[in-house]
Chains A and B, each alone.
Chain A
């Protein structure tokens, strides 16, 4: 697969900034995000609602409305700068190059068009297949995403199928033209746990078979833990920590990631232990705090955190974080000691 002309990097995003103009002010939904993704790899983007994770993937795809939206920064896809392309050119990339699986399969599928046509539409438009070949391909796709009786399903409408089935159809639609890059935006949030596991396994299998790169956007660290090669944690429009999955879980640096992990109820914990909730809520993206955006909720925040925004720093190859006093780093322990030394009163002790 390593053709001499192909570089390993499929997607390179640099300093992406997406802003929405609203009556209340400019919302900086994505504020200076950079990332790279190699062919066939999976990047997990984790964040809570409002962290900008969905806007990020839509910005890269070019799916945002034109009115009242500005999108700056560079997006290099397969060696080509695509951020400056006109919408008609961007659209040519959809299908065969990049595709997206949306969260809610009911609203993402057209309710008045039969399943078959929703799948063949892309095949005929992007790949120029004739009706019969497109139909044959669609049937094969439905089979490969595990849909029983594909001939019958082709003639049905979305409302006749269950949520899990619809999400399989969405995946079939997205995979139809063999994209090199798949965005899965909370693909299982609307589904039940047993079905969620089926869908995630299906995505993983398809990805392996097609050597497709995938951006898996989710709010659930559990979903990406066993499936992503790298994980980027977003908070208030920025990537606050990014690392290979094993590294991230082994050496969490960013207090937000640590807090997020701690707040999940776990099966192996003794029952009814108190959850470590993160106090407060995410900041407004219209007027984010001047310093670290997590500082108002951070248990380790010190004066500098409220004043100065920390840059992304690298602790080991591939592991970056945005914190002045990272978790588990030597100066941090000193910092903790510092705190008791400094005249600022810190607690009763």
Chain B
């Protein structure tokens, strides 16, 4: 499987969730949207995997394909050793109680005509968990856990709550069936910063309290770094880089990761934004993705080899894996392909890398002065 590979996956007996060579394609007339093209990720129990990328990179599709909504075109999704892609009917529904999803828009993901108490009790009713009073107690406990007053919230409808409060209700609903894994699909991007911090703290608390494993999908690198124990960066349906967040943020190996980090606006007037590190161009169409490395059309380091051959995931550090022929970290690569080119570019490599890590450190003294 070119462009992806599985070098970054850990032994299967250590992982709670293991996704291998996931492909999701949607029909579009006579053509196909290549939403996810051979992504492999795994999550250990108790981990928070941050899945980052810009819109259209397939991060949400990956999250949804994990719970088979919709079913992936091909590939394997194993949860606690059970292969989900082949399951159907009752068996799949059974597994889904242990996998929950939290959506981006908290208001539209709650039924506006139902009371909060009913919304939360519904999964318990469907699965006949406990009698009425036990269900009620459970609802109250969940509301309390997400920081809402059960007496006040139970009988209200979603429109009577703010966006942040609705997200709390969505989280409470995801907790009702005591899941093991929660997939959070951009849970805070619709919220204001001050409220966003409340929800991030809440997710952190709940994770401890209920022993949860999280897949946290977001486009905001700072948020992802904050919550994650492992990070995977996606671009146009492919994985670019996977590994320990500290390693990745300090010295990104993939040029795309570096560009993403460089474009985060820093709330510090000493950091002058400049044109240098900014990525040009737009995301290519997923109907007709570029050959070879999908990032090559916007990559400052792209060379012939990138168009011809798809890079495979490989280790560049103890827990840092990258799918790039010419990564910013590690030796110029196993690439016997273009040693001369790699040499000739050595200078640019160094400076690009320096710029990238400087930004990542939030160290403002960008003495480069090129933004004049």
Contact among A192, A225, A248 with B265 in the assembled complex (CB-CB below 8 Å): A225
Is the pair A197, B279 in contact by a Cβ cutoff of 8 Å?
yes
Task: A246 to B272: give the CA distance in the assembly, Å.
Answer: 12
Residues in chain B near residue A259, CB distance under 8 A: 194
Task: A257 to B220: give the CA distance in the assembly, Å.
Answer: 21
B123 within 8 A of A: no
Is the pair B363, A226 in contact by a Cβ cutoff of 8 Å?
no
Is the pair A193, B263 in contact by a Cβ cutoff of 8 Å?
yes
Residues in chain A near residue B246, CB distance under 8 A: 271
Residues in chain B near residue A276, CB distance under 8 A: 197
B222 within 8 A of A: yes
Is the pair B219, A193 in contact by a Cβ cutoff of 8 Å?
yes
Given contacts A192-B219, A194-B54, A195-B282, contact A225 B267 (CB under 8 A): yes
Is the pair A265, B200 in contact by a Cβ cutoff of 8 Å?
yes
Contact among B201, B245, B269 with A271 in the assembled complex (CB-CB below 8 Å): B245
Interface centre among B195, B197, B272, B283 (most CB of A within 10 A): B197
**How many A-B residue contacts, CB cutoff 8 Å?**
145
B227 within 8 A of A: yes
Residues in chain B near residue A279, CB distance under 8 A: 198
A125 within 8 A of B: no
B362 within 8 A of A: yes
Residues of chain A from 195 to 246 with CB closer than 8 A to chain B in the complex: 195-198, 200-201, 204, 219-223, 225-227, 245-246
Is the pair A265, B267 in contact by a Cβ cutoff of 8 Å?
no
B249 within 8 A of A: yes
Is the pair B266, A271 in contact by a Cβ cutoff of 8 Å?
no
Ordered by A's residue number, 26 sampled pairs between the chains whose C-beta atoms are within 8 Å are A48-B193, A162-B283, A163-B55, A192-B219, A193-B54, A193-B263, A194-B259, A201-B275, A201-B278, A220-B193, A220-B267, A226-B269, A226-B273, A245-B269, A249-B267, A260-B193, A264-B197, A265-B223, A268-B362, A269-B226, A271-B226, A271-B228, A272-B226, A272-B227, A274-B204, A278-B195
Q: Report which B residues bind A (CB closer than 8 A).
A: 54-55, 162, 164, 192-198, 200-201, 204, 219-223, 225-228, 245-246, 249, 259-269, 271-275, 278-280, 282-283, 359-363
Q: Report which A residues bind B (CB closer than 8 A).
A: 48-49, 162-165, 192-198, 200-201, 204, 219-223, 225-227, 245-246, 248-249, 259-261, 263-269, 271-279, 281
